[in-house]
Structure 1
Amino acid sequence: MLKIAIIGAGAIAPAHIKSYLEFQDRCQIVAMCDGFPEKAEKLREQFHLTADIYDNHKDILNRNDIDLVSVCTPPYTHAEISIDFLHAGSNVLVEKPMASSLAECDAMNAAAKKNNKILSVVAQNRFTTPMMKLKQVLDTKLMGPIVHTQVDSYWWRGHSYYDLWWRGTWEKEGGGCTLNHAVHHIDIFQWMNGMPSEITAVSSNTSHDNAEVEDISIAIAKYDNGSLAQITSSVVHHGEEQQLIFQGKNARVSAPWKLKASKSQENGFPKEDKDLEDKLQHYYDQLEDLKYQGHSGQIDNVLTAIETNGNVLIDGIQGRKTLELITAIYQSSSLGKTVKLPLTEESPFYTREGVLKNATHFYEKTTSIDNFGSGEITSGGN
């Protein structure tokens, strides 16, 4: 029976707790921690847990029974907490974004390697049936080389969203919608399509003058083979219609699922390629649905890796790639220059200090509250 600790009792913690409770024959939550311990106590009561409550994660480090830690705290704390538990001998599942800087990612990965422990970064949208099926369709290469990708990470958040004490600042949140909302789609994009060779980006804050960070960014990614991708990250889009579209030379597929294939007439105009469409649709339809999805799917993956001494789908190396793309978007949009990948220690945005110094500050944070009294937590359109 694996013993679990939950660090952070904010909005995302219930998703972890519910997921662990799906596997009660394999794991047990024995510790919970939050700087506001009453929040952890409320969750303990809500989910009928018997976990010990702490107000500082360091008080848990001396326990020798913690097999896996879920880090559900604000982004600026991810590196310290993860590294502490890795050195203490625990495996770690850390919420997105992995950290506030590439330097912190590298330190986290080094700690995982040194202690021979699993470091997994939450990317629960990979663990959905539509995304897994789309990935497998792309892997067939039936579409031909990808020539254009469209990533629409459209979300909507009201002005008060950034009133929460840690949101809306480069120091504590680490960035705006590009880092904290589009991270899901950017992760899937680089998982499915690989890393580009350069990024050119612009960003703005159009609707949230109580935040330093951006509420929209648009990036163009270029690959060595000439393929282009456009990535829009936003919290100003009503309806939150989110999609990933991959245009191959032979066909187009997307999530939500849509398929179209064309071939050329003699005059160069398109006509439907029904044979290829039928082949791709048949392949898509015969793929099995996932047994566990979202956080449950990822937690099942991590538990299995611990139990079998196996590998996780999203490790710290994958998590770093996603943050590298996001960092490149911030570097390009802040400095007004195209950024070549990969980013190294020479990047002015490699460290947290470099991000704080060089990132565009749109406004000053004007309001800071400890917690919201009410309101539903929603997870987007698709």
Structure 2
Amino acid sequence: MLKVAIIGAGAISAAHIEAYLQFPERCQIVAVADIYEDKAQARIDTYNLSARAVMDYQELLLEDIDLVSVCTPPYTHASISVDFLRSGKHVLVEKPMASSLQECDEMNQAASESGKTLSVVAQNRFKTPMMKLKSVLESGLMGPIVHAQVDSFWWRGHSYYDLWWRGTWEKEGGGCTLNHAVHHIDAFLWMMGRPSELQAFMSNTSHDNAEVEDLSIAMLRFPTGALAQITSSVVHHGEEQQLIFQGKDARVSAPWKLKASSSRSNGFPEAYPDLERQIQALYDGLPEVQFDGHTGQIDNVMTAIETGAPVLIDGLSGRNTLELIIGIYKSASTGVKVQFPLNPDDPFYTREGIQANATHFYEKKASVENFQDTAISTGSNYLK
């Protein structure tokens, strides 16, 4: 029986708690920590947990706890994760992994030295359409990928950035690219691999109470010659979200859509039904995920702890995702084309460097401790 602590009692902590409660024979939540102790106690009361509320997570470092879920604001992820890893706990940290590549490296070093599991939340991978899409791409049936498109479209009202830790480079670490599109960027890199270079633009079109961007567009080039584009947004009504991959012979996407073309004698397209049937048969024959979203990732992490198997999303994977996002911020802020990898001597490697060099659009004008309305949206299920 794994003993679990939840660090941070904000909105996303509910997804973790509900996921752990799906496995009562494997784990028990024994503590919830938050700088507002009443929020921690409210989570315990809401879910009728046999757990204690604490204000300072450091009280838990020496306790008999196996696994912690870090659900705090991004600027605290590194210090909390490193503290728990060094005290012998396994760590599942919410997205984004950290606010800088330097912090990612510190977290990965702590995991390596302690021998404990470090996993970064990317719950989109644990959704059936994403798992099936990954397998279709790996099959090679659609030919080499020539173009990919990521639409990470969200909508957030002006008051969204009034929450005390949002809307600043210091505490949130960035805007929609880091804190919303991170899920889609993770899935994209999982399927496509690291690009060689990118050019990006970003803007703040609708939230003059935030320093950070609410819209960015990146253009990527891969060593194969393939190109891709990533749009990250919290200004898109409808919140349509999709990943599209164009192969030499066919197009597939999540939500699932398939189209294959062959060439007429004059070079114009005609349908390629045989290939479509072959790809569709592969897709239909792939299994559904057993556990969806956060539940799937928590099952994966606990299985790794129980069996010694690797986690699907480790700290190196989390770092790769952040590296691409930092590359977007660097290019959009400086106007330069960014090449990968980003090295420790890069001005955007540290949190201080990002704060000093990233574009500040506006000054934060309001700060509230908590919202009374706790309803949130966590993205598409990619089924339609």
> TM-score normalised to the size of structure 1?
0.99
Deviations 1:156-193 (A, max 9, x none): 00000000000000000000000000000000000000
Q: Distance in 2 between matches of 1:239 and 1:379?
A: 13
| Residues 147, 227 of structure 2: 8 Å contact kept | yes
1:16 Cα deviation (Å)?
Answer: 0.2
Q: Which residue of 1 aligns with 2:186?
A: 187
| Residues 239, 381 of structure 1: 8 Å contact kept | no
1:379 Cα deviation (Å)?
Answer: 2.1
Q: Which residue of 1 aligns with 2:175?
A: 176
1:335 Cα deviation (Å)?
Answer: 0.5
1:380 Cα deviation (Å)?
Answer: 3.1
- Residue 309 of structure 2 aligns with an amino acid whose one-letter code is G
Q: Which residue of 2 aligns with 1:266?
A: 265
Deviations 1:80-131 (A, max 9, x none): 0000000000000000000000000000000000000000000001000000
Alignment of 1:266-345 (within 5 A): 266-345=265-344
Q: Which residue of 1 aligns with 2:72?
A: 73
Alignment of 1:1-382 (within 5 A): 1-63=1-63, 65-382=64-381
SS, match of residue 11 in structure 2 = coil
Q: Distance in 1 between matches of 2:62 and 2:266?
A: 73
SS, match of residue 280 in structure 2 = helix
Report percent identity of matched pairs. 67
Q: Distance in 2 between matches of 1:325 and 1:362?
A: 21
| Residues 11, 374 of structure 2: 8 Å contact kept | no
Please, what is the CA RMSD of the aligned residues?
0.7
- Residue 169 of structure 1 aligns with an amino acid whose one-letter code is T
- Residue 134 of structure 1 aligns with an amino acid whose one-letter code is L
SS, match of residue 334 in structure 1 = helix
1:36 Cα deviation (Å)?
Answer: 0.2
- Residue 218 of structure 1 aligns with an amino acid whose one-letter code is I
Deviating 4+ runs (over 6 angstroms): none
1:50 Cα deviation (Å)?
Answer: 1.2
- Residue 303 of structure 1 aligns with an amino acid whose one-letter code is M
1:378 Cα deviation (Å)?
Answer: 1.5
1:238 Cα deviation (Å)?
Answer: 0.2
1:376 Cα deviation (Å)?
Answer: 2.0
> TM-score normalised to the size of structure 2?
0.98
Gaps of 5+ in 1: none
Q: Distance in 1 between matches of 2:58 and 2:377?
A: 31
Gaps of 5+ in 2: none
Q: Distance in 2 between matches of 1:377 and 1:92?
A: 24
SS, match of residue 328 in structure 1 = helix
1:381 Cα deviation (Å)?
Answer: 4.3
Count of aligned pairs between the two proteins? 381
Q: Distance in 1 between matches of 2:332 and 2:365?
A: 24
Q: Distance in 2 between matches of 1:14 and 1:381?
A: 18
Q: Distance in 2 between matches of 1:92 and 1:219?
A: 31
